[in-house]
Structure 1
Amino acid sequence: MTVTLRVPPKPITLYSYINCPWAARTWIALVQANVEFEYVEIDLRNKPEWFLREINPDGKVPVLKYGDDLIVESAVTTELIADLFPKELYLADPFAKAQSKLMSDRFMELVFPFYRNAVFNSKLEEFSNVFTAIDKFLPYLHTPKPFFGGSDHPTLSEIMIAPFISRLYLLLESEYVSKEIYAKLSSDVKYKVFHDWALAILASPGVANTFDKASNAKGLAYYIKK
């Protein structure tokens, strides 16, 4: 079955890097909303001279080219896609939309640091305490069905944290942390809402079609063994 892509008001090009979770936000949004765009891979370890000269002298991704204009910063570029395709990427109810943003902010405040510290700060031993963070996060998640606000697909706030959820689960399934942590997360009824919601996000088209597990596993090993 051929799916017709949504054509944006102006042509879109995304400059990204397959292993960058920040850049993945915009990539996920474009794929989830089924938008027509051009993807350009930028190897952040070997940045092309043309990219630094013509696209972003700072050498960072994502960069979104919208028509003839360039815009940077993942939160900004991803929100632009949501603004262009609000029916696909926003919750219709303003209060639910506000709640979802709070939920996303709390995830980055409470849960994300455990992943960051384990991978980039060599604090793997602290990862067993991730449940204290999830406990604090759960009241903000409410009851997704299967996504926040009763949506049948991820909306902007979930897309903002989806790359970190995918990498969190990659770490949970890796050799670097105790298998007991994933076993508890996936079997304890207390965490069923979180686990089911996370798995729904991982299975959504935007994440499933952009997250290269093998490549990110290599990146995970690189940083942990660094």
Structure 2
Amino acid sequence: MSNDSKEKQDKDNLTAKKKKFRYTLFSTILVLILFAALVGAWFYYQSDMGTLLAIKEPSDISILGPDGTEMSSIDLNYTEDEKTGDQVTVKRVFCVQTSADKHRLEIAHTTNLKGLTFNIYKVSDNGTETVTDEGHTYKYDKTAIAGSYLNLNPDKTRPDYKYADDTYHDKNYERNDQVQIHAEPVYWLASQSLDTNKTNSIKNGTMYRTYYVCEVSWTETETEKETDIFYILAKIVE
């Protein structure tokens, strides 16, 4: 092979490698942008809908786990004790930490799980039910906090599943975005504001923790194992 031919081949190989690198880099950036856009879109709709915001420090209100531990989302992993037949029921404790007199709750979740339902109960010293979470035991009354979905589409063909309607799609995503049907989040809002438990004070009496039990149920079979994202949000009520 002549020197000129070898030099030309080396240049061609280098050009091909550069093109491949640019394509790989572009693909990686595109995936990261799409991922960030989808995550960021989840709660964007609230800005002009009068519903609730994700709470981030430094705020005068936050969502915490049992005994005030950090919690980013509800863990739906379960043990065999939490499953009867194909019915799974998990109970998770969370608290709202705030100095305000009242607050309001909202749930946002995807809809992959069959028969997904949930209830939220307020923890009370006089409660007749008990739950242990992360080594801490709480009493609660089994009277669920009233609320309703803001964008639920009653699908008659598959009534065991929840689906979001188009109410907030253009607020969550671009108008023409094609989103997998179960990835479109549904939003549930408590009907009334809730009283902060002023008897459970921390930080020298400047903040208070109000505890709740979130009970989530769904149907799971050996051939259907799905995962959902399940968020709890809170906002101060003036």
Give the helix-richer structure, 1 or 2: 1
Larger radius of gyration: 2
Give the strand-richer structure, 1 or 2: 2
